[in-house]
Structure 1
């Protein structure tokens, strides 16, 4: 036997051993290849890419389905809120119409809109209040029941879910102030709630060191105070009973603020807020002669009635509107730097 035959036999034995090792018969997985072809690497990459794209497509479909469900739910809530507000407004109009007639003292003592003592006691027990108080007369019991019922209805009106509007739907059109005041009331209610929510988020996102500083606590207190002072304004929005002068000026402020013209919005605020109360402390309007300024400030007083700032509630929510304007110019800065109020 020569050397070539011995070498070929050894090579065949080695090939058989390698083949048996690469394809085991005990069911275990074959050992991974030490070297891969470029075509095999490309095939693996394409398979991984296809799997990843399939996973992303599934996630996109799930997000789209969730978004559609949320939009449907929001639409349903808006419809329910509109129906509830419409029903509450109708009840309020009926109640005002019933109370518009003149009542004599005898009618107040005996009628109280037809409520008897038994009905008043039943209503008081239903609302969780004592049916009788010490020394309380029948007339006082009926009046107390009516007063508590009005408070409960007002609370239900305030707790009614606000109509959800998009930012485009919140934009107030100056022509709608007289054409469709109901729409303008809803738009202003939604816009001021949006501003307060954005203000609250901006304060919550501050670093802890800023929150705990004196200035940080002062800013948080100012926001909480503005939110508390604006509750009567939101009540006016829901009841649609804001006075005509204040309603038109607040609409003008909102229109200018939404267009990011904060200087003009501040000018409207000054025209609305400065009145007779400004003269005892020596305040004059800038750029206007003193006599002309006095005449302009007294123009709104010819129709009679006190100035709006003599009302403490109105003064507070107007000052809160001014604070909202200051926040808006930082949250939605104007394109023109001259529109900053300073």
Structure 2
């Protein structure tokens, strides 16, 4: 700036102020970068020192453990020599003393390498011993034989059938193999219903999805999926009671034939049974009435209310009911009289 001027314009003063401000900011930025660089270097040095200390600690611990093992082995050999027993062989470095698991047999190394080659796996890994190679082979074969999970709404190890083979029989068969196939059919059918339900929800417009009713519909789907998960698990492990399997088979058969009213009746028979439900006062006199006998029919097999058996069964049947309600909208019947109200 010209020092001979007696007066300065306001623009010149502002320009000088901005120049001073920018110069000050540059100096501050340089100082900040320099501090960060010093801090990074200190952290790196501290990390290197920490790694060196840890490595030294591990090395000393390994040497101490090795020295203790050698001393113990020397003492044991001296003791065995005094009593006339042969000395123990020294264990080579990297030798594993862990025996194989039950059912695992040792395999010759050449044959083991050929087996690994047949599995398209490396025959030898760097630094791998025979025992490690054998364990790797058994681990690979166990993984190959392990059942695979499906990718549906409810993942399962059951082998699901195609849609053309999902039609369950009208009556539950007696043969064990046929029952096993029926369990696969039931799991496949509910997997298909849930998949169609999920796909229908995903096709809705965004404003419908974000509305209150849209969120409620999605919550109903999630609840039905969670409620049906125990059913699929029981079908996997063949732990579903015979009476429940028979009733669910009837419901699925009626759903597949689009007889939704009859399917709902079968659901009601399964859930609340055929027993009379007392309302109000049940004992109004000292004499036994004939109609009162029906109040105790829940103790019989045909009148048992399975929905009250336990919480898991109640939720499971509720999930079946939700799938029944969706199925009649996805696959409407030709006879409108079969639509539930």
If the TM-score is normalised by the length of the shorter chain, which range does it land in?
Answer: 0.3 to 0.5
Q: Name the structure where helix makes up a greater proportion of residues.
A: 1
Structure with the greater alpha carbon radius of gyration: 2
